[in-house]
Amino acid sequence: MNNQSWQARREAAVVQGVGTLLPAFIERASNAELWDIEGKRYIDFASGIAVLNTGHNHPKVIEAVRAQLEKFSHTCFQVTPYADYIELAEKLNALVPGPTPKRALLLSSGAEAVENAIKIARAHTGRSGVIAFKGGFHGRTMMTMALTGKVVPYKVGFGPFPGEVYHVPYPAEYLGVSEDSCFKAIEALFAADIDPARVAAIIIEPVQGEGGFYPAPPSFLQALRRLCDQYGIVLICDEIQSGFCRTGKTFAVEYAGIEPDIMTLAKSLAGGFPLSAVVGKAEIMNAAKPGGLGGTYAGSPIACAAALAVLKLIDDEQLNQKAQAQGELLKSSLQRLAQRFDCIGQIRGPGAMVAMELVKGGDASQPDPDLTKRLVAEAGKRGLILLSCGVRANVIRFLAPLTAPTAIIEEGLTLLEASLEAAIG
């Protein structure tokens, strides 16, 4: 069987709503490299959408999972609990920013974490309104689609969505959206649409993921913290894509020096195994009554074992330092490309959460989504896996494993240059 035959079977068996970036069916993987069933090798600059900061099949993660499999695979924590869930909750409580005592809830997916964060905020405040940001992405369930600030492709045909969700602009200097204009939009929202006394939560990505890797300025997050304190609103920081060292700090919000009320975590938490978490201030997190939170597979013992191994690797392999070094390599290489190609409008992002925005003739007001699409396709042909994103569908995001050797990153960048040259034509 080859990729083409498997693609035909995929089209006959799987719904078309599940998109596929590259019709290369993977047989094995190691760190930042993949091999498909035809033996072709790929350099992975996607990490399964930011899931593999520790790389594919990290030996320490696999060792931990194997050891757990020999014990048991599932009991359901709500029926008969197990120690790894507790140990992981303790470690996450200590790891997230801020001195306030914390509590943790373990789940399975990022969307599930966001859903439960909203439930907890509403239970704590007795309010129902939620404010999110344009360009934000929080998941594909009904509530998380309502929170997501991008219609195509996430919300088309799926409404109506849960009510009392409001969107305001997210600060992005390159797009001409200032911090001041964002706060004026919130003031206008409070004046025209919802009393702040009815707002349960404001949810924000410290660095937008699907929205285009725009980092919120520290001053904006600090002002948002003050606003939430003023009105008794729960501040939720969604670190699902930016967490676990991707930005050069364990969590991106650390750059702002604030303490969120609640954080949602997932993706690279468990090194490729399905696991998410909601971690927040104990007084807020304990608002839900017993039985109100949980899930059959929530906090899987296999995923918990993997996550404990990942958290140890943060220190053992100095992942924050590796993210900073990888980010510097990416940005310096992309800056050299920008001197050659005027289609590269901006290079941005903290640590190794790096993005390249593609525009026409260097003009920020003229996004080039067609070139972006061609570049992703050309890179795939050459053995480089790239992801696009952005509210204007014109951003390339770089998400290589933080454990990737420098030589692999440099090889990928060489393929990127050839791919961009071919895509421009």
**Based on the domain organization, do 150 and 242 belong to the same domain?**
yes
Choosing from 316, 333, 354, the residue where a domain stops is 316
- What digits encode the pLDDT tens for the residues 186-205? 999 999 999 999 999 999 99
**Based on the domain organization, do 179 and 97 belong to the same domain?**
yes
Rounded CA gap, 106 and 270, in Å? 12
Instruction: Residue 239: give the domain boundaries.
Output: 62-316
**Based on the domain organization, do 174 and 45 belong to the same domain?**
no
pLDDT, position 425: 87
pLDDT, position 254: 98
Do residues 199 and 131 touch, judged by C-beta distance below 8 A? yes
**Based on the domain organization, do 139 and 211 belong to the same domain?**
yes
pLDDT-derived band of residue 2, with 50, 70 and 90 as boundaries?
very high
**Based on the domain organization, do 173 and 270 belong to the same domain?**
yes
pLDDT-derived band of residue 361, with 50, 70 and 90 as boundaries?
very high
**Based on the domain organization, do 363 and 256 belong to the same domain?**
no
**Based on the domain organization, do 280 and 158 belong to the same domain?**
yes
**Based on the domain organization, do 67 and 137 belong to the same domain?**
yes
Q: How far apart are the first and last CA of the chain?
A: 33
**Based on the domain organization, do 379 and 304 belong to the same domain?**
no
Rounded CA gap, 264 and 262, in Å? 7
Rounded CA gap, 212 and 369, in Å? 12
**Based on the domain organization, do 302 and 332 belong to the same domain?**
no
- CATH number of the domain enclosing 180: 3.40.640.10
**Based on the domain organization, do 310 and 184 belong to the same domain?**
yes
Number of continuous H segments (helices) and E segments (strands) in the chain: 13, 16
- What digits encode the pLDDT tens for the residues 222-258? 999 999 999 999 999 999 999 999 999 999 999 999 9
Half-sphere exposure in the Cβ direction for 258 (13 Å, CA): 25
pTM of this prediction? 0.97
| Average per-residue pLDDT for the chain | 97
**Based on the domain organization, do 242 and 267 belong to the same domain?**
yes
Do residues 11 and 20 touch, judged by C-beta distance below 8 A? no
Task: Output b/e per residue, 89-120; b: 16+ Cβ within 10 A.
Answer: beebbebbbeeeebbbbbbbbbbbbbbbbbbb
Total number of domains in the chain: 2
Choosing from 290, 316, 342, the residue where a domain stops is 316
Give me the phi and psi of 187, to 5 degrees please: -60, -40
- What digits encode the pLDDT tens for the residues 98-117? 999 999 999 999 999 999 99
Can you give the C-alpha Rg of the chain in angstroms?
A: 21
3-state secondary structure of 139: coil
3-state secondary structure of 235: strand
3-state secondary structure of 300: coil
Choosing from 256, 288, 316, the residue where a domain stops is 316
For the chain, percent of residues with pLDDT exceeding 90: 98
Cα torsion 342, 343, 349, 354 to 10°: value is: -110
Element of type H or E holding 5: helix 3-13
Rounded CA gap, 403 and 325, in Å? 11
- CATH number of the domain enclosing 25: 3.90.1150.10
Token reading at 385: 């896996």
pLDDT-derived band of residue 1, with 50, 70 and 90 as boundaries?
confident
Residue 257 CA to chain centroid, in angstroms?
20
- What digits encode the pLDDT tens for the residues 363-404? 999 999 999 999 999 999 999 999 999 999 999 999 999 999
